[in-house]
Amino acid sequence: MTTDYNPKAIEKKWQNRWAEDGLYEVNEDSSKPKWYALTMFPYTSGDLHIGHWYAMAPSDVHARFKRMQGFNVLHPMGFDAFGLPAENAAIQRGIHPYKWTMQNVENMRRQLKSIGAIYDWRREVITCQPKYYKWTQWFFLKLYQNGLAYRGKAPVNWCPNCQTVLANEQVLGSGGCERCSAVVIRRDLEQWFFRITKYADELMQHEGIDWPERIKIMQNHWVGRSDGTEISFSLDHQAVNESEIRVFTTRPDTTFGVTFMVLAPEHSLVTQLTTSEKKAEVEAYIAKSRRLTEIERLSTEKEKDGVFTGAYVTNRLNGDKVPIWIADYVLLGYGTGAVMAVPAHDERDFAFAKKYNLPIRVVIAPPDWQGQDLEEAYIGSGTMINSGQFDGLSDEKGIEAISDFLAERGWGGRTVSYKLRDWLISRQRYWGAPIPIIYCDGCGIVPVPEKELPVLLPEDAEFKPTGESPLKYNEQFVNTTCPQCSGKAKRETDTMDTFMCSSWYFLRYTSPNTDNMPFDENNIRYWMPVDLYTGGAEHAVMHLLYARFFTKAIRDIELVEFSEPFNRLFNQGIIIAQKQKMSKSKGNVVNPDAYVGELGADAVRTYLMFVAPWEQGGEWNDSGISGISRWFNRLWKLVINNYKAKNENTNKELKRKLHQTIKKVTDNLEAIRFNTMISTLMEFTNYLGTIKKAGSITAGEWRQSVETLLVLLAPTAPHLTEELWQRIGNSYSIHNHPWPVWDEELTKDEVITLVIQINGKMRDKLLAPASITEEEARHLTLSRQKVKTYIDDKTITKFIYIPKRLINLVVK
């Protein structure tokens, strides 16, 4: 039976067979080492594009490799199914979010199956299903009971178009909404928060986990720990109870240079402090700054402006009266919402002082400074001056000395500040997990009892084009009774940020059908933590930081025993087309289904891995994928057509090439270097091609070589190899075949090429046995005719010999 390679037919055939046999069903098995290979689950957008393939196909290859190596491999798949687009579809097209989402799931599941991955669909997780979000709510209650969830008022990013709160990460650099681009404004709302800041320091520690350096750096920037000093300025004001205003600074050594103070416009003391003649001006300024986004306020492009409140504080170190200003470059949420301004030594303060003609007092002497006015802020180091008893100290020593001095007198001291803020999880939306909280006039905030979970989303919700949450107006949902006093009460109508759903889905895969707990303890102990987590780098600070926080939080609640969910993280790059990111508007979107239909899933999988290093991302190119197709066709014929041996002696070179190939393919897979792994397999195929023509190995060697090649290629091209495996008369399934091992001794070359350089330039080559000594090499080199013409009448001043590599003669 010799037919042509027909990927369409064989792929369908084997996918059906594998599904029928449950070949990839995975169960806990303590007799095998486990391997948890996780790919970030996709959002239910409706269509599996080439970017999904780029994320999923290579990770499946790696998981299959581990499986063949004898690991019990969990490589699950599911759907991140809550989120705004489903709700927009409901508003625009009148289709219920659940229906829209599940239709998308159907389609994407079908497309996912065409990849030919080892997903065990019995373990599928869909976050919008009640059996899943019941446990999302349960975790909320656990966090609440343990003081890690709280309700608070806070200025939030509000998109007037979507009518919802956005996380900082969801606001574009331009200050627009991530989804609709409308200008985001600031607004105060009662919200639910998770106390992620409690874990700020632990989140900056990545010891013991193998993550890309740049992701760790990005997370640490996001947490933004800054060690500094808090300084109290005394306040004496009849309208205000407080007797001080505290500021945070990393430069307490410049405290004698403070010439004004700046408060955030939202600072709680501003209204009381403002004098009557300044009131109108201040109020106008506050109104103006409310319209600006945080990004705009902090932008270095924007000129710093502000308003004097008419009030003063006193600098305790030198008794100076310091005027209090407000300016929008100071944020309430960072530090104390107040900064001491030292124009001589801070760029922003300098610009501000120049603009409003405020004094500039130098307290750190710049090099060669003669007392003249500064042209610009001096932010470098130097000796303290104009600082009373601290004069003469270096700025470094001054930081210590002043901090200590303040601490002794109770005027402040060393402290730590973070950029990280608590995680705001409330969303004024329908399509998310409802926050399981009830508000009772008598009892206050009452958590929904566990036995009443899940708090279901009402099916009869009405989706208004205004975008307001339908839950708010659903009487049946809102009105309830208090679990404590049985009186009339109202439900929380906000739902949870979908990052909450994705903070624990990897736990659910271990026990997707456990119904009395979110997961089975034994299964968690068996599978977790994830051994290899792969996905896009765009999740560096959001999902990955939240998932780490969540894990640490439930560790402290004693639900799990580990601190880090993902041992090794790997970020794949982005697949582009025609030098650009793919997008519908550019019309350069590559549709994987079309290529799968024509050239096969195996070719698409292989091409995506071959095109470039996975972490780098690559450009889709039609002639590139046809190169893979050609290789498969050649391989097909090579294996199918009979081999005629013209030699009965075993071939040492073949054995060496075979073992070198096994070694390189294995090492490359382990290191996640798929492109070179594939080129190694191509080289071996080409080598077998020349062997076949010559008939230079025995029939037994031929069979062994072909079988090994198929096994090595099996993770990459699972359908093609299964078909050929069967056609050469081997038993089903190649995917249960153990991974080949190599013999290090057999990989070593017996004959080596020594490169001969003269003065560092390559002039000649020498074939020699690997066992050659330096003396022999020198002798052989000097007797070469070509070498003689170069050294001629010159003298050899140096003879460099690098065993098995080269000889370099330095001549004069």
Using CB under 7 A, list all residues that contact RNA: 168-169, 173, 213-214, 217-218, 221, 295, 298-300, 537-538, 540-541, 610-613, 616, 618-619, 621-624, 626-628, 630-631, 633-634, 673, 675-676, 678-679, 682-683, 686, 689, 753, 755, 757, 759-762, 765, 798, 800, 802, 805-806, 808, 810
Closest to RNA by CB, 234 vs 759, is 759
Write out the E strands in 301-386. Answer: 306-314, 321-327, 338-341, 364-365, 383-384
Nearer CB in complex with RNA: 28/615: 615
3-state secondary structure 452-511: HCCCCCCCCCCCCCCCCCHHHHCHHHHEEECCCCCCEEEECCCEECHHHHCCCHHHHCCC
Please report how close the Cβ of residue 692 comes to RNA at its closest, in angstroms: 10
Q: Which residues pair with 375 in a beta bridge?
A: none
Nearest approach, Cβ of 225 to RNA (angstroms)? 14
Cβ–Cβ under 8 Å, residues 677 and 669: yes
Cα–Cα distance for residue pair 584/83, rounded to 1 Å = 21
Taking the complex as a whole, the smallest distance from the CB of residue 621 to RNA amounts, in Å, to 6
Q: Which two tokens stand for residue 767?
A: 């074939």
Q: Closer CB to RNA, residue 509 or residue 631?
A: 631
CB 339 within 8 A of CB 313: no
Would you give the DSSP letter of residue 117?
Answer: -
Closer to RNA at the Cβ: 418 or 439? 418
Q: 10 with 734: CB under 8 angstroms?
A: no
Rounded to 5°, the CA angle 471-474-477 comes to: 80
- Spatial CA neighbour of 97 closest among 87, 106, 107, 105: 87
Q: Write down the least CB distance from residue 755 to RNA, Å.
A: 4
Considering beta carbons, is residue 384 or 540 the nearer one to RNA? 540
Q: Which is nearer to RNA, 149 or 665 (CB)?
A: 665
61: helix, strand or coil = helix
Residue 196 C-beta: closest distance to RNA, Å: 16
Q: How far is CA 302 from the centre of its chain?
A: 31
First to last CA, the chain: 69
CB of 255 to RNA, least distance (A): 24
3-state SS class at 808: strand
CA-based torsion, 251, 257, 261, 262: positive or negative: negative
Considering the complex, what minimum distance in angstroms separates the CB of residue 808 from RNA? 4
Residue type, 493: T
Q: Which is nearer to RNA, 500 or 688 (CB)?
A: 688
| Nearest-approach distance from CB 386 to RNA, in angstroms | 27
- Which spans in 45-96 are helix H? 50-68, 84-93
Judged by CB, which is closer to RNA: 472, or 805?
Answer: 805
According to DSSP, the residues that pair with 231 across neighbouring strands are: 247, 412
Nearer to RNA, 268 or 773 (CB): 773
CB of 170 to RNA, least distance (A): 10
Judged by beta carbon, residue 728 or residue 802, the one nearer RNA is 802
H or E segment to which residue 628 belongs: helix 622-640
795 residue type, one letter: T
Looking at beta carbons only, is 86 or 541 nearer to RNA?
Answer: 541
- Burial level of 700, CB count in 10 A (0-12/13-18/19+)? exposed
**Which two tokens mark 582?**
């793919």
The distance of closest approach from Cβ of residue 800 to RNA in the complex, given in angstroms and rounded to an integer, is 4
- Residue 654 CB, shortest distance to RNA, in Å, is 17
Amino acid identity at 788: K
